[in-house]
Amino acid sequence: MDTKHEQIVAHMIREVERGHIRSGHKLPSVRALAKMFSCSPNTVVRAYQTLERDDVIYPVPKSGYYLVEGRGPASARTESEPIDFASTTPRGDFLPFQEMEHCLRKAISLYKEELFGYTDPQGIFSLRNELSRYFHAQQMFAKPDQIAVVTGAQQAFSILTRMPFPGEGRAVLVEQPTYFGFLAAARVAGCPVIGIHRDEHGIDLEVLESYFRSGQIKLFYTVPRFLNPLGTSYSLEQKRRIADLARQYDVYIVEDDYLADLEEDSKADPLYTLDQSDHVIYVKSFSKTILPGIRMGAVLLPDRLLDPFIRHKNAADISSPILSQGALELYIKSGMYKRHAARIREHYREKMRYAIEICARVFGSGIHYTCPSSGVFITIRPPQYVKASALQDRLLQRGISVTNVDRHLLPENQRNDRIRLCIIGVEKPRIEAGMIVIEEEIRRLERRMR
């Protein structure tokens, strides 16, 4: 016999499917359900937490639980409802609006005098001190003086591609595919850009060594974990070897660790912790885990690069916004960030596992996809006859947005053969519905091209 907890979960799902509870509607109170099922309020709370993890409902503090927008009877779901696999913006009800509003109000009170002037271009010391403690907890022992606060990771990429580096190298080496924002920064800076192939298994370390040995590389930009768009990560051994090669050939590495908070393997150290020779520049973004509009990031720099970086930062914006800095400091110091990070880590891990299960069930032979353990990205490679651009257009006609992986590649490496899905803002049932349509359109295009 099902437990009371399971009975409540099943009951609520039936109510949703029958249309008795509509999107945005408040669910019965914990006390009402406890009375209905003759159980303790704690049992109802556990049932609601299960439904929350499954993306069916969401809590509103001091109000209750509500049905997620878009949930409802199956018959009401039509293809006219868009599914956005292209956007990398987190879902609104999963962002810490109220917590950040509190921190912003507190920051106004604490830093009201600084609002009338400019602050340290490196970032206010109290925030850098808090960031130092945050990084220490992750075995990255950077002092406050080694940390620079930036107006989003994109500003760091813009500065790093423009500023001079020791040595004669002038070219930037990037993985293929890679984050298109870094490609844009390098393009505007006028840097020669060289690509090195990366797939779900990593890169060819012998090829990497040949590039490092050539003396032409100014820096190597890498996303060791949860690469956008593949979603996959390097092994610890691969990261150790990359760090060793950087030391051996005196090449600097820019490590973009934008989704570090989604890592569930405690032994999956970043490159920065493996660096024994001060050749790794660590870039941390807070956009994907807090609020993109806060525009806050941090850079951990080798001593010999700190001064030129700060000079370029000062020339770019004088200083990052004091309110955003103050709010981030309070958010981390209060423990709210740690709790929020744990919540989203579990949420996206479960959502990714669900998405991979759907891929395995829906896609047959000839449709290859990456299988990340967590993160938010999956790459799909249809059969060779199907072009990604044609598939993207067909899906858009059916209300599904995806990204062509060519956006993440240098022109000479574009093959028009893969699409990227981002699950960050798509609910579980919509993931399955979207995958089914993707498979249908791939097969339709394959038959037509054959």
pLDDT at residue 280 tops 70: yes
Which pLDDT value is given to residue 420? 98
pLDDT band at 78 (very low <50, low <70, confident <90, very high): very low
Stronger pLDDT, 201 or 72, i.e. the higher one: 201
**Could you tell me if 168 and 243 lie in one domain?**
yes
Strand-pairing partners, residue 150, are 297
Q: Where is the domain boundary, 286, 308, 337?
A: 337
Amino acid at the residue 388: A
Q: Average pLDDT in the 50-76 region?
A: 70
Which two tokens mark 159?
Answer: 């500065």
CB within 8 Å of 389: residues ≥ 6 apart: 404, 406, 416
**Could you tell me if 162 and 300 lie in one domain?**
yes
Task: Give residue-wise pLDDT tens across range 124-154.
Answer: 999 999 999 999 999 999 999 999 999 999 9
Q: Are 323 and 104 in contact (CB under 8 A)?
A: yes
Stronger pLDDT, 122 or 14, i.e. the higher one: 122
In whole angstroms, what is the distance from residue 199 CA to residue 234 CA?
10
Report how far apart, in Å, the C-alpha atoms of 327 and of each of 106, 116, 415 are. 7, 17, 43
Pairing of strands 171-176, 217-222: parallel
Count of structural domains, the chain:
3
Mean pLDDT value across the chain: 91
Q: Are 208 and 245 in contact (CB under 8 A)?
A: yes
Which pLDDT value is given to residue 2? 58
Q: Which parts of 32-184 are beta strand (E)?
A: 57-60, 64-67, 83-84, 147-150, 171-176
Which pLDDT value is given to residue 74? 43
Q: Work out the percent of the chain whose per-residue pLDDT is above 70.
A: 95
**Could you tell me if 156 and 88 lie in one domain?**
no
What is the domain range of residue 150? 97-337
pLDDT band at 9 (very low <50, low <70, confident <90, very high): confident
**Could you tell me if 370 and 354 lie in one domain?**
yes
Which pLDDT value is given to residue 117? 74
pLDDT at residue 278 tops 70: yes
Buried b (16+ CB within 10 A) or exposed e, 130-151: bbbebbeebebebebebbbbbb
CB within 8 Å of 219: residues ≥ 6 apart: 160, 165, 169, 172, 173, 251, 252, 253, 254, 281
Which two tokens mark 64?
Answer: 């209750």
Which pLDDT value is given to residue 368? 97
The HSE-up count of residue 280 (CA atoms within 13 Å, CB side) is 26
**Could you tell me if 90 and 123 lie in one domain?**
no
**Could you tell me if 254 and 237 lie in one domain?**
yes
pLDDT at residue 80 tops 70: no
CATH number, domain containing residue 375? 3.90.1150.10
**Could you tell me if 107 and 46 lie in one domain?**
no
Which pLDDT value is given to residue 164? 93
Which two tokens mark 328?
Answer: 């981030």
78 domain residue, yes or no: no
77 domain residue, yes or no: no
76 domain residue, yes or no: no
pLDDT band at 93 (very low <50, low <70, confident <90, very high): low
**Could you tell me if 156 and 255 lie in one domain?**
yes
**Could you tell me if 172 and 260 lie in one domain?**
yes
Q: Average pLDDT in the 204-226 region?
A: 97
374 domain residue, yes or no: yes
16 domain residue, yes or no: yes
Q: Average pLDDT in the 298-325 region?
A: 95
300 domain residue, yes or no: yes
425 domain residue, yes or no: yes
Helices (H), 179-302: 180-189, 205-214, 236-249, 271-274
**Could you tell me if 246 and 360 lie in one domain?**
no
CATH number, domain containing residue 30? 1.10.10.10
In whole angstroms, what is the distance from residue 389 CA to residue 377 CA?
19
**Could you tell me if 377 and 328 lie in one domain?**
no
Task: Give residue-wise pLDDT tens across range 378-422.
Answer: 999 999 989 999 999 999 999 999 999 999 999 999 999 999 999
Which two tokens mark 290?
Answer: 């807090």
Q: Average pLDDT in the 33-62 region?
A: 85
pLDDT at residue 72 tops 60: no
247 domain residue, yes or no: yes
CATH number, domain containing residue 275? 3.40.640.10
**Could you tell me if 89 and 164 lie in one domain?**
no
Which pLDDT value is given to residue 75? 35
